Chains A and B, each alone.
Chain A
Amino acid sequence: MNSVVCIAQVPDTEARIKIADGRRIDETGLKFIVSPYDEFALEEAIRVKEAKGGDVTVVSFGPDRVQQALRECLARGATKALHIKGESGSADALGIAKTLAAAIRSVPHDLLFFGKQGVGTDNSLVGPMVAELLGYPQLNVVTHLEVGEGKITAHREIEGAEEILEASMPAVITAQKGLNEPRYASLKGIMAAKKITIETKTLPDLGLQESDIHHQRVTVVALELPPEKSGGRKIDGGEPATAAKEILKYIREEAKAL
C-alpha cells in the first residue's frame, strides 16, 4: 500500500504577518513550518505504511526552503521525498494542483493524502482539484479512516453531522484535525532522514508549461492588514450582577442581538 502526502510549507501560525510590496507577505525573518493539517495527513499515511507496508512519498511544490519541510517529514517516517522547484506563490490553486497531479503520476500510489487546507492561503482547494485531475474519488475533511481490501471507509465532518463514506482506490483524502495525534520526529528518524536524497524536478521536467501554472486564473492584486483595533470600553466586573447588566445593555443596544 503506497501513499503520497502533498505538503505545503507555511508561515508559523504564531508569526505576525508583514506585507512586502502590497501584494506579498514579507518573508524576512519569517519562520516556516509544515502546514498543521498536513501533519495529520502525514501521520495517517505513516500509520497505513506501518500496518500494510509500502512507501510514503512526500511531495511539495515551492522554492528551495520547502526542502526543510520535506526533511522534517522524512524524519517523522516518510520514506521518499520529491521537491518540485518553483515559485508556488505566483500559482493559483489549480496551477498547484496541476503541478502536483503531474508529479504524482510518476510515483506509485494507492492513497493520496492532503491537509484539508493549507494554513495561510486557506483555500481548501488543492486536494479535490488533484482528485479531479487524476479522476479519483475525494474524501474531504476526514476525521477517521479505515483501509480495507481494495476500498476505504472514511468519516467526513459536515455541519452538525458526520458522513460515513466508502470509496474505491486510488483515492484522495483530505485530513481534518482529530484524524490522529501526529508523532514527533525521533532522533533515530532524524538521523535516518539525512541519508535519504530528496528528488527534485522542475515544471518542464513534468511536461508543464510555466504559462499554465503561474499568474493564471486567480491573481492577487492587493494584500493588506486588517484595520488595527484599538480596544473598546473596559469595565470592572467585581460586582457580577452589575457587570451582567452592563453586558446585556451592550448586547441589546449596540449589537442589537436580543
Chain B
Amino acid sequence: MAGVVVFAEVKDGRLKKASREALSIGRKLAQTAGGDLVAFGVDRAAAEEAGRYGAKRLYVAPLTAYTTGPFTTALKQLVDQVKPSIVLLAGTSNGRDLAPRLAARLNVGVASDVDRLEWTGGKLRARRPVYSGKAFATVEVSSTPAMATTRPNAFTAEEAGGETAEVVQIAGPASDDKVKLIETKTAEAEELTIAEADIIVSGGRGLKEATNFSLIRDLAHAIGGAVGASRATVDAGWIDHQHQVGQTGRVVSPNLYIAAGVSGAIQHLAGMSSSKHIVAINKDPEAPIFRVADLGVVGDLFQIIPALTEAVKKAKAH
C-alpha cells in the first residue's frame, strides 16, 4: 500500500497546468510517503509530459469526454489495483466533480482546494482556505487512501526530468445510462479563467457602467491576464458571474492582481488578498482595498488604466 495517484487532465494535447502542479506536489509526497507517483488519464499522448513531471506510469482508460460515472468507475478500479496512500486531483471543474464522488465510493476523506500538502506521521496534512480566505484550516486526512484536490496556482509545476511514463491500458467501465453529455459550448473568444490565471485585472463599481469593462479587458489582454470583477458589477449585470472574485465568486491567488475601481468589500478582500503582488487603483484614498495593496495608486482609473495599457504594450514590443 503505497504511492500517489494523480488524475492527469489533458487539454489541446498538453497536460493542464493545474494537473502539472498536482503531479509536482504528488512527486514530493511520494518521496516521503513511499512508492511511485503514477498518473490516471484518458490520453496516452500525455505519457511523455507526465514522465517529465515525475510519473512512472500513466494508466489510460478508454474514455473520451468527461462524464462523472465512467470516470469514477475507472479511477476506482485503478485505486483498488494500485492501493495508493494518496489520490490527488487538480481543483478544476472536473476534478471537483470527480473527487467527492470517488471519495464517497471508497468511503474515504478528501480535503478540498488545498494550498499546502505534506505527508507526516502516516497521514496527509493539508492547509486550505476557509470562509473564503478569511481563515486557514489545517486538516488531517486519516483514511486510506487520503484524497485531496489542489488549488490551481498554489503549487509550483516543476519538471523532474523523468523518462516517458510507461503506458498501462486499463479496462473500460460500462457506459453511464443515467447522464448523457449532449453538447459542450465553448465561449466564442476563449478567455483565461480567473481560477487558473497568473495575472488578474479586476474591475469594480468605479467603472461606472458595463461598457467600461472594455478598459479592464484591454489591459488584461495586453498583459496576458484574466478579467476579474467585484460582486457589485456582477450583480449589476455588467459582466458574467464566472469573473467574480471573492465570497460567492472565486478565491484566487495569482502572482499579480490589479484592482481598478474596486473599493474592497470584506468578501472581495478575502477572495484576493492571498495574491502574491497586489496593485490597486482607486480615487478614494480611504478605500479598504489599499489595506491589502502592495502598491496603491490614488487617482482616476479612466486615465491611468489606458495609460498603463499603452505602457504595457510598449514594454512588450521591446
Report A's interface with B, CB cutoff 8 A. 11, 13-14, 16-17, 19, 25, 36-37, 92-94, 97, 119-129, 131-133, 136-141, 153, 156-168, 171, 176-178, 216-226, 229-238, 240-241, 243-248, 250-252, 254-255, 257-258
Contacts and interface: CB of A to CB of B under 8 A. Distances in A.
B158 interface: no
B308 A232 contact: no
B198 interface: yes
A42 to B, nearest CB: 15
B281 interface: yes
A255 B200 CA distance: 13
Given A245-B311, A255-B276, A257-B256, A237 B180 contact: no
Contacts of A163: 181, 183-185
B307 A244 contact: yes
Nearest to B135: A17
Contact of B296 (A235, A241, A244): A235
With most chain B CB atoms within 10 A of its CB, the pick from A131, A156, A251 is: A251
A16 B266 contact: yes
Given A132-B104, A225-B135, A257 B293 contact: no
20 contacts: A13-B247, A16-B134, A16-B266, A37-B248, A93-B103, A97-B104, A127-B100, A132-B72, A159-B195, A161-B187, A163-B184, A176-B241, A177-B234, A217-B141, A223-B138, A229-B273, A243-B304, A244-B308, A247-B297, A255-B255
Nearest to B314: A248
Given A122-B130, A221-B125, A258 B112 contact: no
Contacts of A19: 135
A93 B241 contact: no
Contacts of B133: 226
B193 A133 contact: no
Most buried by B among A11, A127, A158, A166: A158
Contact of A137 (B68, B139, B142, B191): B68
B100 A128 contact: yes
A147 B147 CA distance: 34
Interface string B271-308: 00110111101000100001111111111100110111
Contacts of A251: 223, 256, 277, 279, 312
B24 interface: no
Contacts of A232: 278, 293-296
Interface of B: 67-69, 72, 92-94, 96-97, 99-101, 103-105, 107-113, 125, 128-143, 176-187, 190-193, 195-196, 198-199, 223, 234, 240-242, 244, 247-249, 251, 255-256, 258, 265-267, 273-274, 276-279, 281, 285, 290-300, 303-304, 306-308, 310-312, 315-316
B98 to A, nearest CB: 8
B239 to A, nearest CB: 12
A125 B114 CA distance: 13
Given A236-B299, A244-B311, A258-B315, A120 B136 contact: no
A37 to B, nearest CB: 7
A138 B315 CA distance: 48
Given A163-B185, A166-B179, A238-B299, 6 more contacts: A132-B101, A140-B93, A218-B140, A226-B273, A229-B273, A234-B285
Nearest to A168: B178
B289 to A, nearest CB: 9
Contacts of B265: 14
Which among A16, A140, A225, A232 has the greatest number of chain B C-beta atoms within 10 A?
A232
A178 B304 contact: no
Contacts of B110: 93-94, 125, 218
Nearest to A170: B178
Contacts of A13: 132, 247-248, 266-267
Contacts of A221: 125, 138-140
A129 B112 contact: no
List the 6 closest A-B pairs by CB distance, nearest first. Answer: A237-B299, A217-B109, A244-B307, A132-B104, A232-B294, A218-B109
Given A139-B179, A160-B186, A161-B187, A17 B134 contact: yes
B135 A248 contact: no
B178 A137 contact: yes
A169 to B, nearest CB: 9
B149 to A, nearest CB: 9
Given A231-B291, A235-B298, A240-B303, A224 B135 contact: yes
Nearest to A143: B241
A153 B107 CA distance: 29
A118 to B, nearest CB: 10
A241 B135 CA distance: 38
B187 to A, nearest CB: 5
B69 A137 contact: yes
Contacts of B295: 232-233, 235, 246-247, 250
A141 B196 CA distance: 18
B121 to A, nearest CB: 11
B68 A138 contact: yes
Contacts of B142: 216-219
